[in-house]
Structure 1
Amino acid sequence: MLQLQAQLAAAQGEQAQAAAAVTEARAATAQAQAAAAQAQAATAQAGEARTKLAALETRPQPEGFRNGNTTLKLGGYLKLIAAYSHFSNGSVPSNTLGRDFYLPQAIPTTPGGRGFTTEDFTAKQTRLWLNFDSQVAGHAVKGYLETDFQTTPSASTSVTGGGSQRTTNGYTLALRRAILTVDKFTFGQDWTTFQYTGALPESTDYVGGAEGTVFVREPLIRYSTPLSRQVTLHLGIENPESALAMAGSAAVMESGTDHMPDFTARLVFAGQRGELSVAGLVRQVRGESTGTALVNNTASAGAVGSGVTAGGLGGSLGGKLFLNDARTSDIRFITAYGRNIGRYVGLNFAPDAVYNPATNRLADVDVFAALASAHLAVTPHLRVNLMGSVQTVHYASGLTFAQLNGLNKRAWSAAANLFYTPVKNIDLGIEYRHGERTVVNATIANGEAKGQIDRVEFAAKYSF
């Protein structure tokens, strides 16, 4: 009996130990399950954190910096130009605009003149801009300031020592644009409303086909309003300045005696496949004369004559046609025609009007200009641009060859370039351009003298 009791006690002890082991195993399993749940939660949290981090990294980062309630942004580009130029009929002075970029009116046209070859490096096209954006009492108030070093010639007295390629190559920072926009109104200096800037080609040159395009920056007041989702109307009142020539002289002078602003309007259509711009210009051209000559108010301060005026009227049509859905290739164009609008076209290739002392009146000048280019993306990093432009000038029939001697009559150019972008923000380009200029020459049988330019140009630009 005692032996059986001992065996029963031993069995009960073993059973208790087994029960305790089962309890411990269950607790361990619960702990393992809890640990697994914690690990899964941690994995999910890590995945969520990685997703949020990736979203933050891909989200466009805010640009600029804050100053009170205004956001300021700085941008622009640094640009080097190296040009090799050959002029067929004479030389072009150093440190002049015709050496820095293609300016058709600077092409020499000396009959029988010797060819002239030169090579120039410049960084004057370097550009800086500031953008200001504020919200004031529920109104969108914006400002834009843009400058470069190209506009002011190095010979200007505003450059210490006059600027020189021999030593420091110092050049003056010049105003390009300075505008304030409040809702639909723009005040300040901007591209003229008469111009369609979307037609400007991608070029190593400062303009690219200067003779064929409307190209003016000036002080103005402009009102812009959408007429629909695709159509916008712009109306401008702009600074007047008549550029007049005196019969018998090729010099063009600023009259400085204008009485009325220039009035401009532009209608822009923007669609999926491109843009179309139609613009008009109405102005009065005015000077003062002594009855036999124009009064040069710039050279003769305080001189006063009697007013001579002529009406000016012009129209332009421009556009851009996208050749693919990515909008990386396109065709661009602009054409303009008008009477007494010379300073608006081709960087004032033709005068607004010619003063004829025989009649004591301003004789009309008609201009026609056109510019077209193809912008073709070959690869994401390589693109080609082809461009051509032309301007023709017609003077009033009452003017003789002698009275028009030296004035521009016609110009055209054609160019092709190749741009390569090895990394974002860096552009390297090489371009070849041929241009021709024709002037009225009373000493030649057919009344015309011509000159040509051939230029190979390299550009390196860093945009920021």
Structure 2
Amino acid sequence: MLRRRTAAIALLLTASALVAPGQAFAQSATREAALASRLEKLEAEIQALRSDLAAARGELAQTTAVAQKAAAKADAPPAQAAAQPATAPADGFRSGATTIKLGGYLKLVASNSRFSDGEVATNSLGRDFYLPQAIPTAGGPASRVQDFSAKQARFWLNLSTDVAGHSLKGYVETDFQTSPGTQGSQRTTNGYNLALRRAWLQVDKFTFGQDWSTFQYTGALPESTDYVGVTEGTVFVRQPLIRYSAPLGGGMTLHVSAENAESGTATLGLPTLIENGDDSLPDFAARLTWAGSFGELSLAGLARQVRVANGAASDSSFGWAASAAGKIYLAGDKSSDVRFMATYGSNAGRYIGLNFAPDAIYVPASGTLADVREFAAFAAVRIGLTPQIRLNLMGSYQGVDYDAALAPAALAGFNDQAWSAAANLFWSPVKNVDLGIEYRHGERRVVGGAQGKLDRLELAAKYGF
């Protein structure tokens, strides 16, 4: 700006040199002062215009931002705008504020079974999976049967919602294996009823609904082509419950619960189990678990009332059981491990081995319940041969003791013991696909001494999703 002012003054001085020298020198100072004043005024006006322009641009930008924000808010539904997360869930999908995940597997099982002492009815559970109490001991002719089934196909729905700082979760799981009836036959449609396995809601540390019993530790179950695998040696119950889970630190968690009560008793001389529906108190269970770098351990306890009411005659008996289970890793990548469970109890038959032994025995002559004690155990080893191939070896056992005051002849048809051993090989050629082959030998003996054997070769193909 100073350069322009100097140049203008020089130009005026040059022009004034053309007039008379006296007049030029007289007017020079006056003109220079007037010109400088006018230039300063022009500069001030230009600066003011620049300030006004900058202010106008700022106001325009602010107005545009507000308008865009208002338009975006108007385009989005108010309820969804408040519920949408900053990022989409890693898997599953959202409905409002709830994340929903679908999962399960499709599974085909093909088995060829030989029963040493009789036949097992078609479409029965003993044909679908290993059930030791279904092994015939009647001394009939041996039978060999072939079965194909997709009943074990399983589906589940996982729900999760954050509500006012609380974690709300839900879970529903179904399959076709445990349905009590059929909708078709093996000759035509092979249609089977959908059955409820688990259905619960969880609010923070509380669980309400149907789930695995707190007395059971599912983490110890070995991999098998079978529905259960180590049936006679494991705790195995799903039922409605109310459970509280408290982390204790150091990898330890305590679970305590009140669970659905149901007594499965038998009448002396008749080994058939009866669901009485006479229970007046819930079953109580507690389990302490620990998880660390080398494995997992569980210690569980059960306390319950077994009750029967037959008209004027009624009786109840105390039932209890304790169970220890775990999984010990044999490799740093957890591809190989040892799994085990040992359970002992009195009047707790329905929790062990799918009710291989009755909860208690009703004695009509006295109108009382006689105690039944059980010991059950299994052990399994899993060996990862390659990242895609693993070998599983397992053995399982249960023995039953009845009240010594009961006549042996009246107990002749009651289960005394069962055991089984199995080996399988699984191959996962691609992710989520498992192909397995398994051989199993099982034996059952009743108190009267009769026994039966089962030999089964089984193939399975499963796609998990």
What displacement does 1:339 show? 0.2
1:99 maps to which residue?
Answer: 127
Which letter does structure 2 place at the counterpart of 1:121?
Answer: F
2:451 maps to which residue?
Answer: 450
What displacement does 1:406 show? 1.2
Partners of 2:312 and 2:279 in 1: how far apart? Answer: 13
> Does the 8 Å contact 1:226/1:232 carry over to 2?
yes
Q: In the alignment, which of 139, 150, 168 is matched to residue 123 of structure 1?
A: 150
Is residue 2:151 matched to residue 1:150?
A: no
Structure 2 counterpart SS, 1:379: coil
> Does the 8 Å contact 2:388/2:428 carry over to 1?
yes
> Does the 8 Å contact 2:336/2:384 carry over to 1?
yes
CA shift digits 1:269-316 (9 cap, x unpaired): 111100110000000000012xxxxxxxxxxxxxx4432100001000
> Does the 8 Å contact 1:249/1:405 carry over to 2?
no
Structure 1 counterpart SS, 2:281: coil
Structure 1 counterpart SS, 2:91: coil
CA shift digits 1:78-113 (9 cap, x unpaired): 0000000000000000000000000000000013x2
Partners of 2:257 and 2:383 in 1: how far apart? Answer: 34
Partners of 2:126 and 2:377 in 1: how far apart? Answer: 21
Structure 2 counterpart SS, 1:151: coil
2:84 maps to which residue?
Answer: none
Where in structure 2 are the equivalents of 1:5-404 lying within 5 Å? 62-111=90-139, 113-153=140-180, 156=181, 159-160=182-183, 163-289=184-310, 304-404=311-411
TM-score between the two structures when normalised by the length of structure 2: 0.80
Which letter does structure 1 place at the counterpart of 2:201?
Answer: L
1:405 maps to which residue?
Answer: 412
Partners of 2:203 and 2:230 in 1: how far apart? Answer: 34
Which letter does structure 1 place at the counterpart of 2:211?
Answer: D
What displacement does 1:402 show? 2.4
> Does the 8 Å contact 1:369/1:391 carry over to 2?
yes
1:19 maps to which residue?
Answer: none
Structure 2 counterpart SS, 1:403: helix
Aligned residues: 379
CA shift digits 1:141-169 (9 cap, x unpaired): 0001000000014xx2xx44xx2000000
Is residue 2:456 matched to residue 1:435?
A: no
Where in structure 2 are the equivalents of 1:412-423 lying within 5 Å? 412-423=419-430
2:71 maps to which residue?
Answer: none
Which letter does structure 1 place at the counterpart of 2:287?
Answer: R
Deviation above 6 Å: which 4+ runs of structure 1? Answer: none
Structure 2 counterpart SS, 1:251: strand
Which letter does structure 1 place at the counterpart of 2:463?
Answer: Y
Which letter does structure 2 place at the counterpart of 1:281?
Answer: L
Unaligned 5+ segments in structure 1 are 1-59, 290-303, 442-447
Partners of 2:423 and 2:292 in 1: how far apart? Answer: 28
Partners of 1:63 and 1:329 in 2: how far apart? Answer: 29
What displacement does 1:61 show? 7.4
**Percentage of matched positions with identical amino acids:** 61
Which letter does structure 1 place at the counterpart of 2:402?
Answer: Y
What displacement does 1:403 show? 1.8
Structure whose CA Rg is larger:
2
TM-score between the two structures when normalised by the length of structure 1: 0.80
> Does the 8 Å contact 2:372/2:402 carry over to 1?
yes
What displacement does 1:126 show? 0.3
What displacement does 1:440 show? 2.1
Q: What's the RMSD between the two structures over aligned residues?
A: 1.3
Partners of 1:255 and 1:404 in 2: how far apart? Answer: 20
> Does the 8 Å contact 2:214/2:257 carry over to 1?
yes
Structure 1 counterpart SS, 2:108: strand
Which letter does structure 2 place at the counterpart of 1:263?
Answer: F
